[in-house]
Amino acid sequence: MTAEKKKSIYPPTSPAVEQAVKLLLCLGKNKGSDYGLTSICKEIGIHKSKGYSILNALARYDFITKDIKTKTYSLGPALLPLARRASEKFDLTAIAKDHLQTLAHETRSSVLLGIISNDQFYIAGKYDGNDRLSVTVRQYQSLHITHGSHGKAIFAFLDEKEQQRIMDTGQLFFHGDPDSFDKDKLAQEVKFCRKNGYAVDNGEITPGITAVSAPLFDHNNEVTAGIVLVGTFTADKFETLGKKIAETGRIISRQAGAQF
């Protein structure tokens, strides 16, 4: 007889580590002013004393920084080399680089490459083709997965179960503020994107700024990323730019192992 294997007395995860991760993600998603202790703790649901301890530990290793005057916190410089190393692990960034730089120059617009993770669209690459206009989105910044044109392009190629999960969250930024969300309009946009390979944003997110997006697929033919063409081009350019970005997306996806 073999001895019964004893169960570990240790939990499968560490609450403190999970709380630290949630804290970093909280700071990473913040698009406005830096957070203070009270706001951070309220956002992730922990006691202020616990939050203070975690912040001090992260600050010791420069993962976060504290503004002494305003008593607010932001992400620290120690994350930069880690982000660079992480981005290097995604072959997609290397595959896409030359294609997206060419696309930026040909369209005289800015092109973004975003990787999907935890309902966020992490900017892994930014390419500018117009010296007079550059979008304010920064590399390593994150946007919500449903945000504008890339949200429509990604959502269109998710399976029904995943689409429903996203809809159930109520965090729907396809048409700007969630209050502006139009379910029937999205259905038409999804149908269009599945047929043509691209989705558009005609100034709904930021007035005067237009965008065209296409999904990127991995070797399992699952949407794993997206590319966004951003500029001030008018709606009459959508079809031409849409075909161009859709074709670029197909080329990158095939090189990443997708089968079409």
Is residue 92 domain-resident? yes
pLDDT, tens digit only, all 260 positions of the chain = 444 445 555 566 788 899 999 999 888 876 556 789 999 999 899 999 999 999 999 999 999 998 888 889 999 999 888 877 666 555 788 899 999 999 999 998 999 999 998 899 999 999 988 656 556 677 778 899 999 999 999 999 999 999 999 999 999 999 999 999 999 999 999 999 999 999 999 999 989 899 999 999 988 899 999 999 999 999 999 999 999 999 999 999 999 888 87
Sheet holding 72-75, edge to edge: 35-36, 72-75, 64-67
| Residues 6+ away with beta carbon under 8 Å from 40 | 23, 26, 27, 51, 55, 73
Hey, which residues does 133 pair with through a beta bridge?
Answer: none
Q: What is the spatial distance between Cα 42 and Cα 213, in angstroms, rounded to a whole number?
A: 35
Is residue 1 domain-resident? no
Tokens 């290397």 -> residue: 94
Is residue 156 domain-resident? yes
Residue 147: half-sphere exposure toward Cβ, Cα within 13 Å: 19
Query: 65 with 106, same domain?
Result: no
Residue 1: half-sphere exposure toward Cβ, Cα within 13 Å: 3
DSSP string over 123-192: EEEEEE--TT---SPPTT-EEETTSHHHHHHHHTTS-HHHHHHHHHH----TTSSGGG--HHHHHHHHHH
Query: 190 with 124, same domain?
Result: yes
Query: 53 with 144, same domain?
Result: no
Query: 50 with 144, same domain?
Result: no
Q: What is the spatial distance between Cα 209 and Cα 256, in angstroms, rounded to a whole number?
A: 30
Give how many domains the chain has, as a whole number: 2
Query: 105 with 70, same domain?
Result: no
CA of residue 45 relative to chain centroid, distance: 23
Query: 154 with 231, same domain?
Result: yes
Query: 140 with 200, same domain?
Result: yes
Query: 192 with 120, same domain?
Result: yes
Q: What is the CATH number of the domain that holds 35?
A: 1.10.10.10
Q: What is the spatial distance between Cα 201 and Cα 241, in angstroms, rounded to a whole number?
A: 12
pLDDT, position 97 = 93
Q: Which domain holds residue 22?
A: 15-77
Is residue 28 domain-resident? yes
At which of 26, 53, 77 does a domain end? 77
Q: What is the CATH number of the domain that holds 186?
A: 3.30.450.40
Reference 181, options 211, 147, 157, 142; nearest CA is 147
Query: 113 with 172, same domain?
Result: yes
Query: 71 with 121, same domain?
Result: no
